[in-house]
Structure 1
Amino acid sequence: MDVDEISLHWLVAVAQGFALPQAGRDDILRRCILALLAAGAHPSAPVGGAAVAHSALWRNGSPGVVWKRLDYGDTPEMIAEAIVEEWRRNGSDPLDFSVWFARNVSHDRKLGT
């Protein structure tokens, strides 16, 4: 990962860029999530919501974002499947779904630290 944090909505944009049925898009999302997990990322959420994280990223990490680690299972496959299923249950709107992937996340890590 070249960036420490990435939102699910960026992965969804990639998956939707292919003219595939829903099952194909779901497979692309699973593969992207598995690759992020293999690179050391963890499912995370910005405290205060996705808008806080998007705003901070565009401002070079200022004013800072506190990340909380999310638990979606014990294996990469379980985690990927649970996130894709939750995304689909929530109406598949990536902007309303605030799962991010971040490295070295603790309950109080701030963006850029």
Structure 2
Amino acid sequence: MSLDLQAKDRFFGQTVMEYIQTVPGELPNDAVGLWQIVPTGRQGFGLIGDDLSEFVRRCVLALLTHGAKPVVGGGGTKYDWILQPHYGETNEEIVDTVMKEWLASGAGDCDPGGLWFALPSPYVGSI
């Protein structure tokens, strides 16, 4: 199988390529969660298996390329988001670690309380 970048979302009509290119557009306003990406690929585009994995990989890489970093919610801290440096330093290291973790978890839909991607800001910290 090869990911069809021209496949259209059954709900919104966007192509896979358009979605990948526009997913970082949310970053200036809010973080983007892995829980948002996986169901879009699975339900919106009807992707499964290797195609779904490639879609998730490309979306995460697009977020990282636009400056996002892996974070989790900062509840109970002075930050909205907490950086997760254990994913790696380079974009390739981070996307590889994210993919390994997601695949090891069963490649299912993700929990909204799980991994997100946010631009560095005063609201993002480390503890």
Question: Which of 79, 85, 95 lines up with 1:80 in the alignment?
Answer: 95
Higher relative contact order (CA 8 A, sep 6+): 1
Counterpart position of 2:118: 102
* Aligned residue identity for 2:99: V
CA contact (8 A) 2:72 2:113 kept: no
Give the Å deviation of 1:41.
0.8
Structure number with the higher strand fraction is 1
TM-score by length of 1: 0.70
Counterpart position of 1:70: 84
List structure 1 segments (4+ residues) > 6 angstroms apart after TM superposition.
none
Q: 1:89 to 1:34 in 2, by over 3 A?
A: same
Counterpart position of 2:56: 29
Question: Which of 32, 37, 49 lines up with 1:6 in the alignment?
Answer: 32
Counterpart position of 2:67: 40
Deviates most, 16-25 or 90-99: 90-99
Q: 1:13 to 1:21 in 2, by over 3 A?
A: closer
CA distance in 2, matches of 1:87, 1:19: 18
What is the aligned-residue identity percentage?
A: 33
For structure 1, the 5+ residue unaligned runs are 53-63, 109-113
For 2:111, what is the secondary structure of its paired residue?
helix
CA contact (8 A) 1:90 1:97 kept: no
Q: 1:66 to 1:96 in 2, by over 3 A?
A: closer
What is the aligned length? 94
TM-score by length of 2: 0.63
For structure 2, the 5+ residue unaligned runs are 1-24
Question: Which of 84, 90, 99 lines up with 2:105 in the alignment?
Answer: 90
Give the Å deviation of 1:4.
2.6
C-alpha offsets along residues 40-75 of structure 1, whole Å, 9 cap, x if unaligned? Answer: 111000034xxx9xxxxxxxxxxx963110121122
